[in-house]
Chain A
Amino acid sequence: MEPQRAKSVTRSVQWREKAFPYALLAPALLLLAALTVYPFFYILHTSVHRLTPAGETFVGAQNFLRLLGDPFFYRAAVQTLVFTASALTLEFALGLALALLLDSQIRGRALWRALLLLPMILPPVVAGVTWRLIYNPGFGPLNGALRLLGLDTRRLTWLADPIVALASVVLVDVWEWTPFVFLILLAGLQAIPEEPYEAARIDGSSPWQTFRHVTLPLLLPALLVALLLRTMDLVRLFDSVFILTQGGPGFATETLSLYIYKTAFRFYDFGYAAAASLALLVVTGALSRLYIRFLTREERA
């Protein structure tokens, strides 16, 4: 009897020890399931249905086929990519320059840093409304300042010309999110130890060589993290476009997120919006996969 009982006690202890971590994880897993897994399957379900007053009807791949032949969807996708690429380039060029500048011992660093972070802590809607006013061709301070310089601003309409509007929206994003890139890169710079720089100095490397062969490789992990986060955000860009142009003039600044929002909440076509969301999810998923692979490879190297 005795050994039998001892065995069952150890087994129960073992089971408890094994189950313990899962029990600790359970609330988080449940929350994840409720907030992520369930909505994901619900979107899958919605994407193959059509919702009408009479209820939902199964339509198979119809929503996805429509997506393939929808010129608006393609244009929104191309514009989203143009947005993302141009905003990323500018934000990283500026963010890196600012981080390098403020990492050196210039005067009033603390003040500069605080000022630089201001755009980022404004709510995007407030920033959007403010910029809409700044861009106003007649009464806006931007054209006002240019007029003071003696420029003819009559054709400078910022948000009303298809190509300029795209650039104007990119500019707002750059203004708002360069500080974020700057912040991460500055942290990355300050984490680089002094020794490699000393070694480089002793070897007589030029400032450019030091930057290219010491700073940049050591900064790469921070760069990639910032790049990953900004890319995800830009691919899903919604708030500033919504406030600044609502996707106009015409369709010139419509992004995928805005198109999906309109399809779902203005046209009430949830099936099609779900299909488009899945397409967007595939794009963001593929992009982040790419980055993460790059990131882990760098770390291993």
Chain B
Amino acid sequence: MKLCNGGTVVAAALLLSALALGACRSRSTDSDLLMAVNAGVEADGLKASAAEYRKERGITIRIIEYPYQSLFEKLMISLTGPSSNYDLVMIDDPWFPRLAEMQTLAELAPLFRARGLTGPDGDFVEASLALCRHPYRTGALYALPCVGNTQLFFYRRDLYEKHGLEPPRTWDDVYRTGKEIGEREGIYGYVMRAAQGNAIVSDFMPLFWAFGGEMFDASGRPRVNSPEGVAALEFMLRLAEIAPPGYANFNADEVGAHLLQGTAVMAINWPAWIPAFADPARSKVIGKIGYLNVPSQKRPGASSIGNWLVGIPRRSRHAEEAFEFLLWVTAPEQMRQSALKGNPPTRRSVFEDPELVARFPSYPVQYRALVGSRPRPRSAVWNEIENTFGIYLSQANSGYYSAREALDAANRDIEAILQRWNLSARNP
């Protein structure tokens, strides 16, 4: 007996899959906007804003969360394809030069003009807005800054008071007082993260800059092995004497844990950790942590900026609507809401909001740090440069190379990367 012929089976299968696809599609209407964001506290802020936007304007912004690493991969694949799935994308600032160079983002100037505006208002912190331009600071605007992270220097204010010491202003102070307090209290003087890649480069840059190092010379060739660079790395290896063993594989989590447990005197970390210090369930140091700008040495201290930007893919079919939301979500009111969830703002007026300052006493320091911060060098191949630089820095910290050997090798490899892609890089 013949139940049905092949043609029917195929037709039925096609029909079923068409139905299934239709069912998937019908969940979002064409007027919904899709936004790719970093999973975590940044996404919490945006989800709350999106819910309010829907109530106020009747437009749905669907927030799609990705873990940090896969967000970059998703953006690269989605934005370089023939059409973009997303109407808004969240970008970590070191990724921005690559995305802008590949012309994947919509220029914002025409969108501002269409509304009779000349550009973003003067309330945004200049250091944050400069990240959204390609080339850096001077070029066209492709995004707006929404989260104003910048590194802060955390220290045990209570212990400095107890031992009658001044808070550290220079890196020499950090070593001297860290050693002294550490020895007297039986804890570690300084904790840093030296895990390969982003972690160690983020922690090394403030030291490198303070010692007078610059990654690239005026012609865009790498100069990490300058005498200043070697001095900075040698100093990092001296700091290792007062750091917990195993720091060579630490990430931000381990640094945070040492501070929370009260087993280290000082560290550089991101402001996202501030709420944890006041949380009785996690913190043994409630009310004991002070905040400073990154220490100076030969030059005034500058911390690495690490802002989250929001851009509109060039191929989005809803650029107008996306821009409307972008303006709304980066306006003071929503930025305030997001700040209450723990996201540092990028607007001066929000940093100075009395209620927020009362809640986050570190805001004045954070604002000064943000204004005086430096971005990591702007290059479309920064990920590759950072990885290579990080490998050699990490090898110096685990005792495989001396400071000079590591930086000579890093310089050679960074030069090879730039040559391979026929690029130069810029110090911002």
A residues lining the B interface (CB < 8 Å):
52-53, 136-139, 154-162, 165, 245-252, 262, 265-269
Report whether A138 and B398 are in contact in the complex, using a CB–CB cutoff of 8 Å. Answer: no
* List of A residues within 8 angstroms of B383 by Cβ: 266-268
Cross-chain contact A160 with B196 (CB below 8 angstroms)? no
Which of the residues A53, A158, A246, A268 comes within 8 Å of B195, measured between beta carbons? A246
Interface pair A252/B245, CB less than 8 Å apart: no
State the CA gap A123–B255 with chains docked (Å): 26
B103 and A53 within 8 A (CB): yes
Q: Indicate whether A250 sits within 8 Å of B391 (C-beta atoms), given known contacts A53-B101, A267-B383.
A: yes
A162 and B263 contact, Cβ closer than 8 Å, known pairs A137-B244, A246-B196: no
User: In this assembly, does B387 line the interface, its C-beta being within 8 Å of a C-beta of chain A?
Assistant: yes
Whether A154 lies near B196 (C-beta < 8 A) is no
Measured in the bound complex, the distance between the Cα atoms of B191 and A160 in whole Å is 14
Per the bound structure, the CA–CA distance linking A159 and B399 in Å amounts to: 14
Residues of B close to A154: CB separation below 8 A: 245
| Cβ contact within 8 Å between B76 and A165 | no
Q: Are B102 and A159 neighbours in the complex by a CB distance under 8 Å?
A: no
Interface string of B350-377 (1 = CB under 8 A from A): 0000000000000000000000000000
A138-B258, A246-B195 given; A262·B249 CB < 8 A: no
Let me know if B172 is at the binding interface, CB within 8 A: no
Check B395–A138 contact: CB distance below 8 A: no
Contacts of A249 in B (CB 8 A): 194-196, 248-249, 394-395, 397-398, 400
Whether B257 is near chain A, meaning CB under 8 Å from some CB there, is yes
A138 partner, pick from B246, B387, B399, beta carbons under 8 A: B246
Residues of A within 8 A of B83 (CB): none
Q: How far is the CB of B217 from chain A (nearest CB, A)?
A: 23
**Do A266 and B387 touch across chains, with their CB atoms under 8 A apart?**
yes
Which of chain A's residues have a CB closer than 8 A to the CB of B197? 246, 248
For A155, what are the chain B residues with a Cβ–Cβ distance below 8 Å? 245
A265 and B197 CA atoms in complex are apart in Å by 14
Chain B interface, >50% SS class: helix
Q: Which chain A positions have C-beta within 8 A of B72?
A: 265-266
Decide: B73 and A265 in contact? CB cutoff 8 A: yes
Smallest CB-CB separation from A162: which chain B residue?
B398
A160 touches B249 (CB 8 A): yes
With known contacts A136-B254, A162-B400, A250-B400, A266–B245 Cβ distance under 8 A:
no
* Pair B247/A160 contact, Cβ less than 8 Å: yes
Q: Which residues of B contact A (CB under 8 A)?
A: 72-73, 76, 80, 98, 101-103, 194-197, 244-250, 254, 257-258, 261, 263, 381, 383-384, 387, 391-392, 394-395, 397-400, 421
* 30 contacting pairs across A/B (C-beta < 8 A): A53-B80, A53-B102, A136-B246, A136-B257, A137-B244, A138-B258, A138-B263, A139-B257, A157-B246, A160-B246, A160-B249, A161-B398, A162-B399, A246-B195, A247-B196, A248-B195, A248-B249, A248-B394, A249-B196, A249-B249, A249-B395, A249-B398, A250-B196, A250-B392, A250-B394, A250-B400, A252-B400, A265-B73, A268-B98, A269-B384
* Contact residues in B for A159 (Cβ distance below 8 Å): 246, 249
Given contacts A161-B398, A162-B400, A245-B196, 18 further A-B contacts (CB under 8 A): A52-B421, A53-B101, A53-B103, A136-B254, A136-B257, A137-B245, A138-B246, A155-B245, A160-B249, A162-B395, A162-B398, A245-B195, A249-B395, A249-B398, A250-B398, A252-B398, A262-B387, A265-B72
Residues of A within 8 A of B397 (CB): 249
Residue pair B244, A138 in contact (C-beta under 8 Å)? yes
| Chain A nearest CB, measured from B261 CB (Å) | 7
Q: Across the two chains, which residue of chain B brings its CB closest to A143?
A: B246
**Which of the residues A250, A267, A268 comes within 8 Å of B395, measured between beta carbons?**
A250
- Shortest distance in angstroms between B264's beta carbon and chain A's nearest beta carbon? 9
A196 to chain B, nearest CB (A): 51
A249 to B196, CA, bound (A): 6
Which B-chain residue is minimally distant from A251 (CB atoms)? B391
Residues of B within 8 A of A267 (CB): 381, 383-384, 387
